[in-house]
Every structure is written in structure tokens, then in C-alpha cells.
Structure 1
């Protein structure tokens, strides 16, 4: 039975979209001229576009443009209003920077702010130029800027591996992703190398050094590919957002993307490996999903599907568990959401006794012929997996069938009493009510059993000839079929409601757990409070024994928190040093009882979380894994926050101590220098007139001691001045 597909837009999504549009209307628009390298022409393209806007009458201000001595770039500034730079003094050097306050006061329609990744001079309002740009955008001013691919934060490590140089100035990816427009400025490597030789990129000896190191052709090719790929990713995201906002269901195969469906069958691992090879060959993104339908899945097949998803994530795929009444509809909906143009499915040879059953692939081909499918044979048909019904939280399964049996006998007894008052046709309603109640309470299986038993009881006790299963009136066959049909339909509807309730409850549990953890961690001010919150939350949410290991000043990890799980500190140390999971369920030190997980914060690893799960297969579920990763991320950020608070407090104490020391030295030097100078002057005056003898020796001693004390004060004063300069 296909699931009902509601085509109406989500009202919450519409409200969020309207709010975003209102915020965007008040905010300036950011245009980024994006290139692979210096010298490809980003600044020139920006200035040329600015000249065209000025010719159309638009108010354009050149806030800061770095010409680097290039004549062609400087020539494009002619006719543009240029903002004078702000003069700053740093360590006795006069420097100039972009004047943010002047630009905000001037309020042009467009401000040109070159080199988005630039670091501002210490003492500026913001340490980074991209933060200046954010303030301009918040003020409703459009900004045009330039950016090289190596300055994107997410590509920093990859770029350093390619060019062998660590780029220190980076821009967060959200600045790039939230830009209103990205203009790619592309130049073939040979043309760029020729520009370098012609002195149009760097001048003098800088050009020769660049050609031998950074500007090698291989580097330029790799950076060019990164630029185009990153731009393609941005365009792909924009297309998916547009499709979602416009409720477009048709697939747009603008980019290869595979969706792989696994069901927990024996051949799923082979299916994932084949899909991984296909994705690598096509250079395509791929997603592996398992549809947890309400039809009842075998426990072994469910665990097998979770292990397959774990294998797929190791191969680099995105994984997910999808709720859905119909597997085919759920896969098609997921393909449309992610704009996956190909479905990869496994296929078993159809068993003879199931000639009437259509496979998922057949149903998709019949109802959604526009979706391409790649079907991979699983080979020999495995033995049938046991199907385990998941009843509502109630007595055990056997007890549910017992209660269904007792309900039918009770209905028969009541019907025997009512038969003296009501007609036999009305008594049938009592059996129907019993079947409905059993199906609603215990699910489809006990409901079907109650229906069959009710039919037998009705036939045996009430249909002539009584106390026999013989039926002389054929109209009762319709009654029997009706009772059985009601049980089947009610059981199916009940299973669907139970499945949707379980899905909603799981989603609510994850959201509540994250919200509660965020609230508790935000209120924690010490490491001890954070560890207490972590032990309490993780043990409750994941039904596990939990331990927490945090580093000391020497980066040696030790267990913290009372009542936590005993920790093998050698495994915890390895996890902390390498930033990788170890222990149970991993490929490293898998004999350990617990699973050791690094707590990765934005700056570094902040500790190790140890989990000993009551159900070890629980983390194979991608939803549970994502919940764990989200909770770990919040815990790591809280630890990093407390660390920086402690660093700030320590720095404040040091600054106050330094301030007190400087004040004391200044007071001593000021209070002692004048008396010592007077004392030395008096001794110098008295010595020529003093008669030889003890008085002269006394004056010489006073002069020497006072001079020595004066030198000591001068040394302290010089030391104070040096420390002040070093701290500046």
C-alpha cells in the first residue's frame, strides 16, 4: 500500500523562508571574485565591474584595493572614489588599514574591499578583514571583495599538502557559502605563468622565488581544480535549495549522485563495494540508506543493515536510516530530496512461491520510470530471515496471543448471554469489536489470530448446526471474510500508527536530549560540573556506562568524575594523541570493553569519552551515531570554553600582577631617584671642602652607595620598559 504523499509545502519551512528573506532584505549583498591564485585577475575584474556600475550612476566607493605595484590594476582605479586609509601605530611603525568607521559613515551603495582573508593590524576593531566586511553587510552596504581558494578554512589542510606551505590567513566557509554572488575568475596555468614572467603578478625577486615554489604548473592545476570544484559544490547546494523551495519533484541530473538502498540482506556488503567503485569511477557523491518500514523487520536483518551502513561510511558515503511505510516510495522521496539521478539496488532471484510479489525495483520502474536504476544481483537466495513483530510496550508476544484467545472466549460467553435478547446478526458486532480491540492493543499478528479464532467461535457456538464447524448457510462465509478483513485492515493501520509514533518519539528524544545537554553545559562553569553533566546525560541517553578522561598540563589524560566507568588510560592516551576512536567496535585495540572516542573541539582534542553500551550494535544506527557525535561536539566545545575562560583568568591575573609590578617600580624609581640625586649632589659638593680624615671617607662611602643604588634603579627602569615593549 503506497504511502500518502502530501504535496503541500511545510508551513514551518515557509515561515522560516519568509523570515530569512526579511533578514536578507535588510542586509547588504556580498559578491566574491573567486580565483585559484594571485594574478588571475580578480581585482582587475572587480574594478572593471565597478567602473561599469559608476558609469550607470551607482555610488561605488573603493574602500581598500591592493594594487601590489601593478600598473594595470592602478589604472583601473582612475575615476573611482577612494577612501583614505586609517593610520595606525604598531611597535613604533606607522601602518595603514581599511577605515571601517569612515566607510560606515560614508554609506555608499557598494564598497570595494580587496583581499578578504587579510589580517588587520593589531589595534584595529577586528582582527580579520572578513569581520569588517560582515559589519558592512550588517549595516546594509553591498560589498565586493576578492578571495583565493587556498584561503578557505575547509581547504586549508588540502592546500598545504598540495603546495607544501601552510596558509595562515583563512576565511570561514560560511562567509563564502552565504555570499550573494560568487564570480569565478579563471586563467589557464600557462597564461598565469606567462603573466608571472612578464612581471604582472609579482615584481622583482619575488617573481623568481614564486616561479620556483608556489607557481609550479602542478600546483596551479591542482588549485584550479579545487576552485572549480568548490564553486560547483556551491552551485549544487543553491540548486537543491531552489528545488526544495519551489517543491520541484522532477530530477535534474546536473551532477552524478548515487542513492544506494540496503535491506539487511546477505549481499548488501557486495552491493556497497560495487557502489563505491561506481561512485569513484563517476566521481559522484553517494548516499547509502536503509528504510525502516513498519512491516516488521527481522532483528538479524536490521543489525546486518546497520553494519552495512557502517561499512559504507568507512568508504566515504553519507548514510541515513529513513522511516517509511513503503520502501519504494521512501527511496524515491530521498532521491528527489538529494537530487540523486541513479538508484543502486540489490536483487535476489524471485522465489517461486512469491510469484505475486513485486520487488522494490519493479515498483519503482512501474510508478517512477524517470529514475534510472542500477540493479546488482545478490546471487544465491539466502535462507528466510525470521520476521519479528515489534508490538507495543505490553506483555510479551506469547502473552499477547493468550490475551487474544481469552478475549475471544470472553466475547463468546457474553454473546451467549446476549443471544437471548438480540438477533444473531447483532451478536456478530460483538466479535467484530473484540477483533478491533485486540488488533489495536496488540498489533497485526494477535489481531489476525483473534479474527480467525472469533470466526471459529462464532461458527462453533452460534451458527447452525451448533457445536460443529459445519456451515449450512453460505451467507456466513461473507461474515467470516468480513471479520478477517477488518482485522487485517485494523492491524495494518495500527502498525502504521505505531511506526509513526516510534519515529516521532525517537526524533523528539534526540531533540530533547540535545537541548537538555546544551542547557546543562551552558550553565557549567568548571570542568567538574561539565564531567558531572556528561556522565549523567550520556549514561541516560545511550543506556551505557560512561567514563571521561581529560588532559593535564603535560597532555597526559586521566579519568575524571566520580562513579564513572573505569578507564584504560593507555588507550585513552592513544585516542587523545591521534584524535581517532579506539576500543570496542573499532579497528584499533578492539579487545577493549569500552569504546574510546576523542572529543574534538574547533581548536584541538579536549578529552576522551568512553562508552560501554548495553547494546553494542546501537551505534551502528546512523541516527544514533549522529546524536552521539552532536552530543560529543557540544561536550568538547564546553570543555574548550572552560579552558579559554581559565586561560583568560590566568592572563588577567598575570596582567594585574604585571601592572602592580610596574606601578611599584615606577613608585620606587620616582620616590628614590630624587633623594639619591640630592644625596649624591650633596656629597659631591661637600667632598672638596672636607678635611682629610674620617669625614672624607664617610662622604666617599655615601657617594659610592648612593651611586650604586641609582644604577640599580636605572636597571629596574630599563627592564620595566623592555617588558612593556615586549608585551605590546
Structure 2
């Protein structure tokens, strides 16, 4: 029997994959605006153009500077893409035109620029990432204050926080860094001559605060140090490659929480990881308090984890009831040597009654180093997840329950059995703690003590106590009530937490059971889309590639998808990354798109289109979506393998 001949189309795709290369990134890096980065980039481009290299200017921000405009002469430019926004025409880099033109080198000025709403990516550095993946070399410019990990440091020195930032991984993974360095005095001279574009700073404010000689000296030193750190990192990588050793001494774990302090912790962790040249992880623990967090607090958590990913960290989210124990257990299991945790500014009296997470971690850390970072300013008060009306209603219920307990205890006063009254009040406290917030339970404890003293301790209807026995009983009521209310409220939250986990487990099991008995690709897509749509009360779509590799909407055959949504799904499938609304890639889309991947191959795309345009997915919902996507991908992989086996069996039968 002759061996089976290889598929020519498969060989052609393999050759294309092997010949495809990632483009190279060259960053012209400076201390601040006016250092001459764009001028240096255009000068380097002219040299390449004279050598016969295909150089195209994708977008150059001239800001009306004649020197820059004159230097652009002779270099071909791509037409800019026009975007209409609120009656204003904004010109941005035409990403599709640049990829279709496919030059050897593309010039893209101002890497930290924020694109206009309606662009494929919110940030220009994301455009550059896609250009590099398409095999195009890119020249770009960047100021030191736009590096994400240095954002807090620069703000502390200059007093001005820059909003447009670039992940450090872009800088660290660049193929070449050109430091454009000129004396600080020269920059001030250029500022006086009007040759410096002030950008996001008001002119007067920039001259008074940012462009001061001491600030420029500090920025220049930071730029030099950051460039030197990258050179050291490259040298270490080279040594490691030469010795074939990968011994990592340190691992850093940064603890993320529901507050603005988390972003500072992540930037500090990135700086420490860069200095120690070690991996780092951002960890969030979904404890029993997670489900009562304010919406703003949950948004802080999602933004912090997303920032950590952009800076090169591994992110983890675990569901555990005991936060400190979970952090230490994770650190020990993953050989973490340093833990970074934040300490919020809280009133001193709270430390007398409440345990501190920082102290718990330090007590249990053992040989692990713990770095404690305190927030600069007290966190702003946030609106709680429950409504004000609901909180007041729970207070009214607490008052009502204690009133009922008081009425039930009146006969016991005549019988002179104070222990019975205490039991009745403690029962009411337990009922309130199991059904309401902790604040309502504490109010019930206070009301119980007041009512017991006023009504059941002689002399009646006064707060005077003259017997030691009554003082002891009242103290027992307060102490026991506090302990019961706190622990019962905690158990109530833990039960909600356990029910949520049980619900998610049941949903995963239900989908798995349905997919196991589903034989075809189309039916798998329909079953998964219907099941996921019911869970999240939204429109769910499944996209699977056809024989030519183009995505088709197999979960809803016969329905033509919107062109914009289809393009987002295609991008997700091609890059094996999430995209769509709520992400950093094409956020103006209506849907949230997840690749159906087993880690190596992509079998399709899951799209979620919420009915409510303002809906945002919580961390646990995103985690559940990821798990459902993995199950769907496994089912599609199983169907694909079964189809291949059937084809091979049919070929063998023909040969025999």
C-alpha cells in the first residue's frame, strides 16, 4: 500500500506559516516633549529610504512645526483615516491600508496616543502590535512619562499625572531602543521658541509646573536609568541563553483589592520585578464580601488585573472564603518569595475591633518577604451595591424584630427569669444576622441592650443599674450578641458565596452533559449558544471556520451578522485574544468575543451580546465565560477529530 500523499494546500499553509515573521520595533525614546524624537526618527527613515528600503510614513504628528514638516519631504505617506465624532473630523492611522500596503518600515509617531472613538483599537500601541504581527517593521516615538510602571514616580516628581500610558512590555520587547538625549537647558530654550508641543498640558501650567529645570533633570535621569535597565536585562538574557540555565531566584506576588491603591501596587510590583528580573503574579481573592462590593470597586478590580496583564504579569482570581490563608497558600504552592500588599488609611479605632489583612499575612508569611505599601490619600467613599432604601428597610426590620422580642419577654419579667429574656433577644439577633446586613445585626445588638436595661432591669423604665448581677447579664448580652451577629453574618455571606460557586459548577456540568451527546459541529454550536445565552440573559453566537478558514455563524444559520461584529470575531479568531466591548480591542462593538481555544489551536469564537448596552461583566462572570468557552472548544475539537477519523477510514476503505 502506497503511503498517503500529503495535502498540497496543507503544505502551502505550512510554508506560509514558516516564512511569516514578526516585524521589528524600533523606539526613539526621550525624557519629554521637545527632546527631538520625531526629528531623529525621520532622519533615520531618510537614511533607510536612500538605501532603497520601502519606508512609508503611517502617521506623523507635526503639530505645525515647520522643521518636522520639512523633514517629511521625500518620504511617501499613507492617507489618514477620517473618523467623524460629534461633528468633528479626526484623522487617525489607517491600519488596514498600512497592512495592505505592507512596507518594509512604517513610521508611527507618538506610541502612547489615544485613538478616536470608533477606531479598531483604543490605543496606538495596540495598532503597532497588530502591524508587528503582520510582519511590518515599525519606527515610533515615546516619552519616559508614558511608561505605565513609571506613571506614579513621574507624577510624584512633577505633580502632573499623564493619562496616556504604554505597557512596559512593549518597551521591554522592542528590538531596538534609541535614546534621544539633549540637555535640559536646550529643551527650555526650545520651549521659549515655541518648538515644543505641550500636548495635554495647558501652556501656562506646563511652563510653571512640568517644564522646570529640576523636573527635566529628573526625567532625563529616569530615562537614562530605564534604558540602562533594559540593556542589563538583554545582557542577562544573553548570558542565560549562553549557559542554557534558567534558574529563577525570586517570584513576586502582588495582592489586588477593590480600590484605587491596586494600580499603585501593580506599578510598584512591575518596578521591583524589573529590578530583580523575575516573574510576577497579580492575585485577587473572591471572598464572601465580593458579592456586596460597589460597582466602582468591582471595576477597580477588573482594571487592575487588566493593567497587570499589560505590564507582563500573570493574573489569577481565586474563590476562597479566608483571604489571608488563600494568599499564603498560593504563595507557598508557587514558590513566591515576595508578597506586595496594600494598606489603606483607616481610622485608628477600627484596628481595635477589626483584624487587619496585612497583619494576618505577615503573621502567616513565614520566610516570605512582605512589602506593605500605604495609599497616599484616603479612598473616596463609594456607593454600596445595595440601595439606601434597602439598607434603611433592613434597619426597620431590625427594630421590628427587637420590638417583638421585647413583647415576648414581658411575661418573663413577671416570672423573674432574666435568662429567658436574654435567650429571646439572642434569638432575634440571630434571625436578623441571617437575613440582613451586618450593620442591621449590630443595630439589633445595641437595641437589645438598651431595651433590656430600660424594661427588664429594676428599677424599671430607667437606665440605672444597682445590682452586679444585672451588670453581668447586660455585659453577657452585649458580648454574646456581638459575637453571634458577626459570625452569623459571615456565615450568611459564605452561604451566598457557596451557592454562587454551586450554581456555576452546575452550569458547567449541565453544558458538559449536553455537549457530550452532541454529534456535529453545527449542533454543538447551537447547544452551546442556547445554553450560554440563557445563563447570561443575552444573545450568544458561535463562529466556526469553514473549509477555507473563513468564519461562519454556525449557531444561527441563515442570519447575516453585522459587518462590524463579524470583523471583531475574525480578529479574535486570528489573534486568539478576547476583543469587543469592555476590552482594549474594538471596544465600540456590541458583543464580547472569546476565542474557543484549547491553549494551542483555535476552533472558533464565542460572542456575547448583552441586551443591556450598559451591562459590564463581573469577574466571576468572565471566569464562568472562560470555562464555558473551554468546554465548547473541547467539544468542537472532539467533533473535528471524529470527522478526520471518518475521512481517514473512508480513504482506507477505498484503497482496500
CA deviations 1:686-723 (Å, max 9, x no partner) are xxxxxxxxxxxxxxxxxxxxxxxxxxxxxxxxxxxxxx
Separation of aligned partners in 2, 1:471 and 1:333: 50
Pair 1:454 & 2:431 matched: no
CA deviations 1:210-235 (Å, max 9, x no partner) are xxxxxxxx9x9799559533xx5xxx
Give the structure 2 partner of residue 494 of structure 1.
488
Superposed CA RMSD: 4.2
CA spacing shift, 1:572–1:161, aligned 2, 3 Å: closer
User: How far 1:278 moved relative to its partner?
Assistant: 1.9
SS in 2 for 1:346: strand
User: How far 1:489 moved relative to its partner?
Assistant: 0.9
Give the structure 1 partner of residue 89 of structure 2.
none
CA spacing shift, 1:221–1:492, aligned 2, 3 Å: same
Give the structure 2 partner of residue 78 of structure 1.
none
SS in 1 for 2:514: helix
User: How far 1:368 moved relative to its partner?
Assistant: 4.3
Pairwise mapping of residues 410-559 of structure 1 onto structure 2 (< 5 A)?
A: 410-421=404-415, 423-442=417-436, 444-473=438-467, 475-559=469-553
Pair 1:639 & 2:636 matched: yes
Give the structure 1 partner of residue 403 of structure 2.
409
Separation of aligned partners in 2, 1:624 and 1:576: 21
User: How far 1:369 moved relative to its partner?
Assistant: 5.8
Give the structure 1 partner of residue 307 of structure 2.
311
SS in 1 for 2:259: coil
Separation of aligned partners in 1, 2:270 and 2:249: 17
Separation of aligned partners in 1, 2:466 and 2:2: 108
User: How far 1:654 moved relative to its partner?
Assistant: 6.0
CA spacing shift, 1:446–1:360, aligned 2, 3 Å: closer
Separation of aligned partners in 2, 1:347 and 1:565: 52
- Using the TM superposition, name which of 317-326 and 484-493 deviates more: 317-326
CA deviations 1:21-60 (Å, max 9, x no partner) are xxxxxxxxxxxxxxxxxxxxxxxxxxxxxxxxxxxxxxxx
Contact 2:287 2:497 survives alignment (8 Å): no
Separation of aligned partners in 1, 2:607 and 2:289: 36
User: How far 1:267 moved relative to its partner?
Assistant: 2.3
Q: Is there any run of 5+ residues in structure 2 with no aligned partner, and where? A: 6-16, 24-234
Separation of aligned partners in 2, 1:222 and 1:519: 51
Higher relative contact order, chain-length normalized (CA < 8 Å, sep 6+): 2
CA deviations 1:55-114 (Å, max 9, x no partner) are xxxxxxxxxxxxxxxxxxxxxxxxxxxxxxxxxx977xxxxxxxxxxxxxxxxxxxxxxx
Give the structure 1 partner of residue 589 of structure 2.
592
Residue from 567, 573, 578 that aligns with 1:581: 578
Pairwise mapping of residues 377-416 of structure 1 onto structure 2 (< 5 A)?
A: 377-385=374-382, 396-416=390-410
TM-score by length of 2: 0.56
User: How far 1:379 moved relative to its partner?
Assistant: 1.7
CA spacing shift, 1:267–1:347, aligned 2, 3 Å: same
User: How far 1:648 moved relative to its partner?
Assistant: 4.4
Contact 1:443 1:494 survives alignment (8 Å): no
Contact 2:426 2:477 survives alignment (8 Å): yes
Contact 1:444 1:488 survives alignment (8 Å): no
Separation of aligned partners in 2, 1:355 and 1:432: 26
Separation of aligned partners in 2, 1:381 and 1:515: 44
Residue from 335, 340, 345 that aligns with 1:344: 340
CA deviations 1:229-275 (Å, max 9, x no partner) are 3xx5xxxxxxxxxxxxxxxxxxxxx7311111122222211211221
User: How far 1:619 moved relative to its partner?
Assistant: 4.9
User: How far 1:518 moved relative to its partner?
Assistant: 2.7
Separation of aligned partners in 2, 1:573 and 1:373: 44
Contact 1:307 1:620 survives alignment (8 Å): no
SS in 1 for 2:630: helix
User: How far 1:291 moved relative to its partner?
Assistant: 3.3
Separation of aligned partners in 2, 1:341 and 1:501: 34
User: How far 1:527 moved relative to its partner?
Assistant: 2.2
Count of residue pairs brought into register by the alignment = 426
Separation of aligned partners in 1, 2:579 and 2:474: 60
Give the structure 1 partner of residue 211 of structure 2.
none
Residue from 270, 275, 299 that aligns with 1:276: 270
User: How far 1:649 moved relative to its partner?
Assistant: 4.0
Residue from 609, 614, 628 that aligns with 2:606: 609
Separation of aligned partners in 1, 2:430 and 2:365: 36
Residue from 272, 284, 288 that aligns with 1:290: 284
Separation of aligned partners in 2, 1:322 and 1:641: 29
Contact 1:408 1:434 survives alignment (8 Å): yes
Pairwise mapping of residues 351-366 of structure 1 onto structure 2 (< 5 A)?
A: 351=347, 354=350, 356=352, 359-365=356-362
Separation of aligned partners in 1, 2:571 and 2:22: 25
Separation of aligned partners in 2, 1:508 and 1:363: 28
Pair 1:335 & 2:331 matched: yes
Residue from 625, 628, 631 that aligns with 1:628: 625
CA spacing shift, 1:425–1:90, aligned 2, 3 Å: closer
User: How far 1:534 moved relative to its partner?
Assistant: 0.5
User: How far 1:443 moved relative to its partner?
Assistant: 5.0
Contact 1:547 1:610 survives alignment (8 Å): yes
TM-score by length of 1: 0.51
Pairwise mapping of residues 662-701 of structure 1 onto structure 2 (< 5 A)?
A: none
CA deviations 1:448-483 (Å, max 9, x no partner) are 222222223333333334344454556434333322
SS in 1 for 2:585: coil
SS in 1 for 2:245: helix
Separation of aligned partners in 2, 1:424 and 1:655: 90
Separation of aligned partners in 2, 1:327 and 1:644: 43
